[in-house]
Amino acid sequence: MAKLRAKGLPWRSTLCGRTCGNSSISKPNASPMESMLDETVEPGSQGDPAVSLSDVQVRPEEIKEQLTEEDLDRRVDIYLTETETIWMLDMPSVVASVESEDAGRILERNKIYVDICKNRPGNDRFAEKMMQTINGAAKNKEVQCDKIVMEDKGVVVTSWDLYDSFNVSEIEPASKGEATNGKSSMSHTTKKHDQTASVTSARGNITSVTTLESAALARTHKKEENRLEAILTSEKFQQDLFFMERVLMENIFQPKLAAYRQFPVLIDPSVTSDNAGTVVAVKEAKQEEHDKGKKDKEEQKEALIDPSIPSDLNKPVEETVPPSLEQLWSYTCDLTQGLNVSSMAWNKVNPDLLAVGYGAFDFKEQKKGLACCWSLKNPMWPERIFQCEHGVTALDFSMASPNLLAVGTYSGTITIHNVQSSTTTAILNSRDSSESHTGPVWQLKWLEQDGNTAEDDKRERLISVSADGRLTKWLVQKELDCTDLMKIKRAGSEKKNLPREKERKSVVLISRQAAGMCFDFHPKDTNFYLAGTEEGLIHKCSCSYDQQFLETYKGHKGPVYKVAWNPFSTDMFLSCSADWSIKLWHQNSQTPILTFSSTTTVVHDIMWSPKSVFIFAAVNESRVEIWDLSVSILDPMITHSGNPEVKFTSVLFAKNTDCLLVGDSRGEVSVFELQNLAASSSTKVDALYDVISPALTT
């Protein structure tokens, strides 16, 4: 019995034939759609009597042959089975169980998605547009090297060269403990015969022989270099060199160092008797010449005496040698050439140790800075060298810990160095502090609080002033912590409108703070200090009150570069400025008492003498000046001009001697001896008042 399978039909589908009278025509090859149509509308059903034979249309190609009555009466069995399920669209469920492992992660993602949907409409950074990532263009990488040059080398070798080379190749393995071969027992005649017999073979071995000889020489040379390097790097050798260098410097600079320390110049005892006699003879000749000149001058004075004039009025005037500056030496080396000397400071315990800062004042030509520690025992090379990323603008030694050196730079960074250590790395750096200066640090000074302060405030502090308008107090602990003593505010304009003049518009300031340039604490009461600004003003401030100035001194028309209290008459102070002037002030008067202006150049630095209440030194761009107020208040007592291409930048008195140190723009610190100074070393408080009182009355 034939079995047919209907594909694509559900299991309830039936295959219906076409009815023609009482006969049934089956369509085994009918399509599913046609079968469904036949099932929907069955021609010849009992409920539709209107259907006739004419309504049934049969295509001739579907009936291939004529069926007989037997075929029509024959029973045909048709079996219908379920077809295979075909999935056209599969949408998996997005629902997860609360008890599943991923339930927490799914809830968190749903929460994040809800938050994103809420924030998207009001977010300014949200841009609803399509994005496309473009792959970067391919890059070609090429590697180049230096051209390899090939050269041909030739050498002429004699039999003696071959003999010496073979000896080296035989002796070298024996020295290393290797087994000797039979060649070592060959006689000189046999070796020479073999070498001369086969010239071609010997020439073939020239390369190997010369290589062995070169290797032996290289090993010997390397051993010698290692031995010399070990000697040079040994600690004892370095110490011996250090002392030898000190001895040589003492011998070279002995006369100048003796003049600096005000000692007599000694004669070398190793000089022979003839040389000693020559030296003595030269000295005697000079002394005789000096006595003769002095006698001639006295005779000339006696000739000018008039006998008719009384003896009291006829007394000759004694000649005095004018005071002067004599240069002894200069602290300079190759590292400091071309750098400006920005600041100098003596060590508080060792008076022979000087710290010098090097930098550049022009912000357009900034260079790396340098801080050097010079010693009188070696004026030709610094004892310590500290390299800085930016130019050094200020430095000072600590009083409580003399081995600590504070260095301020043009970038606003403050570093603390230990000069006892041979390492050049700073032990503390203000870059680690969030309150570091944002402008150049123009002055640094260590300060010890007086006895009236609390116990916590008696520790030594580092004070700095910067171009950012802050005068800051730093506490040196495990790191640098700071607090602001004063934020220097700009002074308002006091100009008034003239008659019939339009109303002035208010000036909008970029910053309310004025750049601080310098400061100086009172010698007796460290609670008070002076602060000079770029506006030309000098403010008197108190450490106990940081909101307002106590006094404001007006007189300068340019930036104030230095203020200095008189160490003896503590009510007086000096100031110098870019307006070419030096002014003397009294703390109770807001106008200057005296103004000193000798040149038309910028005055960079001033300093009171540590031995006299009247004397102070000043440096401008063209010369060094020594003023003695007991001699004159109009002109300096000593002037020293330098090279026109060199500008003087800083000045410093020596502590224990009559010497002056002057720094310039080419990196030199010149040491001068003050000669023939008048005996005006008064340190009385009222002495300065007596001198300037005539100027006050006029």
CATH of the domain at 475: 2.130.10.10
Residue with tokens 């042959």: 65
Alpha carbon distance 104, 95 (integer Å): 13
Letter for the amino acid at 198?
S
Tokens of 305: 């005496």
Residue with tokens 């990323």: 389
pLDDT at 482: 85
Alpha carbon distance 391, 408 (integer Å): 9
What pTM was computed for the model?
Answer: 0.61
pLDDT at 319: 57
Query: What phi-psi label fits residue 338: left (phi over 0), alpha (psi between -120 and 50 degrees) or beta?
Result: left
Q: What are the two backbone dihedrals, phi and then psi, of residue 566, each rounded to the nearest 5 degrees? A: -75, 125
- Whether 79 is in a domain gets the answer no
Alpha carbon distance 686, 698 (integer Å): 19
- Whether 533 is in a domain gets the answer yes
Q: What are the two backbone dihedrals, phi and then psi, of residue 384, each rounded to the nearest 5 degrees? A: -135, 140
CA dihedral sign, ordered 462, 467, 471, 473 = negative
Which stretches of 9-142 are assigned E, i.e. beta strand? Answer: 18-20, 23-25
- Rounded alpha-carbon distances, angstroms, from residue 46 to 15, 40, 49, 72, 205: 18, 14, 7, 21, 125
Dihedral Cα 54, 56, 58, 63, nearest 10 deg: -100
- Whether 619 is in a domain gets the answer yes
Using 70 as the pLDDT threshold, list the residues of the chain that sit under it.
1-65, 93, 121-133, 169-210, 212-213, 267-320, 363, 449-458, 492-511, 678-687, 693-698
Which residue blocks in 575-652 are alpha helix, DSSP H?
none
Alpha carbon distance 655, 349 (integer Å): 11
Range of the domain at 479: 324-450+458-489+510-697
Alpha carbon distance 349, 530 (integer Å): 26
pLDDT at 414: 93
From the CA atom positions of the chain, what is the Rg in Å? Answer: 53
Helices (H) and strands (E) in the chain, counts: 11, 30
The structural domain count of the chain equals 1
- Whether 13 is in a domain gets the answer no
- Whether 639 is in a domain gets the answer yes
pLDDT at 195: 45
pLDDT at 343: 94
- Whether 75 is in a domain gets the answer no
Listing DSSP states for 191-205 in one string gives HHHHHHH-HHHHHHT
pLDDT at 232: 81
Alpha carbon distance 272, 589 (integer Å): 67
CA dihedral sign, ordered 246, 252, 254, 260 = negative
CB 164 within 8 A of CB 191: no
Alpha carbon distance 374, 668 (integer Å): 12
Alpha carbon distance 418, 384 (integer Å): 10
- Whether 227 is in a domain gets the answer no
- Rounded alpha-carbon distances, angstroms, from residue 642 to 66, 181, 619, 645, 662: 140, 80, 11, 8, 11
Alpha carbon distance 254, 115 (integer Å): 85
Query: What phi-psi label fits residue 676: left (phi over 0), alpha (psi between -120 and 50 degrees) or beta?
Result: left
- Rounded alpha-carbon distances, angstroms, from residue 130 to 81, 113, 676: 52, 20, 90
